Amino acid sequence: MRRIVDATLDGAGPAAAPPPTPSSPGPGAAAPGAAVPTPGAAGATPAAGRVAIAIGADHGGWQLKDAIGRVLGEAGYAITDCGTNGPEAVDYPDIAHAVARLVGDGSCRWGIIVDGAGIGSCMVANKVPGVRAALCHDLSSARNSREHNHANVLTLGARFIGEGLAIEIVRAWLGTDWVPGRHADRVEKITDVERRYMKPTGEGRPG
């Protein structure tokens, strides 16, 4: 898996190396040439079957977001850009919600959000059911968030990391498999907490 992602993000392009598949249920790397999600699968665009990633940023992170989007697009991913695309001030909760919603409803396999610190966007994204967002500033935390926590949204702080490191973090995050085992029960407990506070239709919040 890491070898495939490294090749594609280094500019080999989709013809030379396909984008990574969704996480496999084990620690082993995906075999070279492994198929991308089939058309119609969660997180795949119907037309091409490419792995879909939603990206977004506020005015503090739009340039880094655009750089990440270019690299991922060249690697063969289907990119949904939720904005913003300029220096005019916007509210990060709006952008973070737009990205997280696409991951939560299955429209996109993964999401990447950039703001000044990455903290606020992570908080917002984690309010969306089905989203497990992780703020990462280094390669170790990026890998850990995938292996242990099954993260499906990555948030980055543009004020704290440069473009080069950000691309390396994205590479590490996308190239790391979810390793269930003992972690599966703990991630399920995260989901259970989420369920306990979801407001049932027409009812009050459970006590």
- Reported as a single tens digit per residue, the pLDDT across 122-173 is 999 999 999 999 999 999 999 999 999 999 999 999 999 999 999 999 999 9
- Quick one: 110 exposed, middle or buried, by C-beta within 10 A (0-12, 13-18, 19+)? buried
pLDDT at residue 34 greater than cutoff 50: no
Strands (E), the chain: 52-57, 78-81, 110-115, 133-135, 153-157
Give percent above pLDDT 70 in the chain: 73
Average pLDDT over residues 37-51: 51
Please give the single-letter amino acid code of residue 7: A
pLDDT at residue 24 greater than cutoff 50: no
pLDDT at residue 38 greater than cutoff 50: no
Q: What is the tens place of the pLDDT at every residue in 107-117? A: 999 999 999 99
Comparing CA positions, the residue from 109, 108, 131 lying closest to residue 23 is 109
Write down the pLDDT at residue 39.
Answer: 25
Model confidence pTM above 0.85: no
Write down the pLDDT at residue 149.
Answer: 96
Write down the pLDDT at residue 120.
Answer: 98
- The reply to whether omega before 8 is within 30° of 0 (cis) is no
Can you say how many angstroms the Cα of residue 26 is from the centroid of all Cα atoms in its chain? Answer: 19
Set 97, 137, 148, 150: catalytic member: 148
Catalytic residue status for 148: yes
The domains found in the chain, sorted by start residue, are 2-20+38-197 (3.40.1400.10)
Write down the pLDDT at residue 181.
Answer: 86
Give the tokens for residue 150.
Answer: 């099954």
Write down the pLDDT at residue 189.
Answer: 95
Q: pLDDT-derived band of residue 29, with 50, 70 and 90 as boundaries?
A: very low
More confident residue, 27 or 173: 173
